[in-house]
């Protein structure tokens, strides 16, 4: 499996950022385009101890879409992933966001995080997820959120 690091960036006119699985191996790993569909056959990976953010708290910032992979976002051992603003993780054939011994944070009032139509929306094993503000977990065919020796706070 090809894995890629993803880091959102703010550009003046970006409205939609797409990261999806269409099999072009020559594309770069940092994706910000205005109104375009970006294709990347890779999941978004947070390695051990990494801290990264997808999306932005700025209400005028782009929507980030991660779609069409096996796992959409993989967060491993002691990493901290933050999904901000209008970030969507959808149509991944496996888990939308997979947290293994790590921390996931979905925040805040700006925008709505959406995890849609994956096999399982969010899996947390030996880690935690904090969900603050609007979020929609919908249409995941096995479960919306699954915890294995993990914790979740939705508030």
Partner 1 sequence: MGPRRFGNQTIQQNGNADNRDSGGILGRGNSHLDLFSASVVNNRGVGLAMRDNSSARLGGDTVTGNTAGGVNLLILSSTELLPGNNITGNGITDLKCRLNSFALGDRSGIGTVSCPVEF
Please give the residue ranges that form the binding site for partner 1 (CB under 8 A).
108-109, 121, 131-155
Nearer to partner 1, 101 or 144 (CB): 144
What is the nearest approach in angstroms of partner 1 to the Cβ of residue 72? 15
Cβ neighbours of residue 26 closer than 8 Å, sequence gap 6 or more: none
Regarding beta strands 103-107 and 80-84, do their DSSP bridges make them parallel or antiparallel, or are they unpaired?
A: parallel
Which residue's entry shows tokens 């990493």?
79
User: Partners of 16 in the beta sheet?
Assistant: 63
What is the nearest approach in angstroms of partner 1 to the Cβ of residue 103? 14
What is the nearest approach in angstroms of partner 1 to the Cβ of residue 57? 9
Q: Are 151 and 125 in contact (CB under 8 A)?
A: no
Nearer to partner 1, 29 or 132 (CB): 132
What is the nearest approach in angstroms of partner 1 to the Cβ of residue 133? 6
- CA 121/CA 116 separation, integer angstroms: 7
Nearer to partner 1, 45 or 102 (CB): 102
- CA 93/CA 135 separation, integer angstroms: 20
Nearer to partner 1, 44 or 120 (CB): 120
């Amino acid at each position: 499996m090809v894995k890629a690091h993803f880091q959102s960036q703010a550009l003046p006119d970006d409205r939609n950022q797409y990261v999806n699985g269409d099999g072009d191996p020559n594309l770069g790993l940092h994706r910000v385009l205005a109104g375009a569909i970006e294709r990347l056959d890779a999941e978004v990976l947070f390695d051990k101890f990494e801290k990264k953010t997808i999306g932005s708290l700025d209400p005028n910032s782009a929507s980030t879409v991660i779609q069409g992979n096996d796992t959409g976002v993989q967060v491993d051992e002691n990493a901290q992933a933050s999904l901000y603003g209008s970030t969507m993780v959808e149509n991944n054939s496996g888990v939308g966001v997979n947290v293994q011994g790590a921390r996931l944070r979905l925040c805040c009032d700006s925008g709505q995080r959406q995890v849609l139509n994956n096999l399982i929306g969010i899996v947390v094993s030996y880690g935690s997820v904090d969900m603050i503000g609007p979020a929609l977990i919908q249409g995941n065919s096995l479960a919306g959120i699954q915890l294995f020796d993990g914790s979740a706070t939705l508030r």
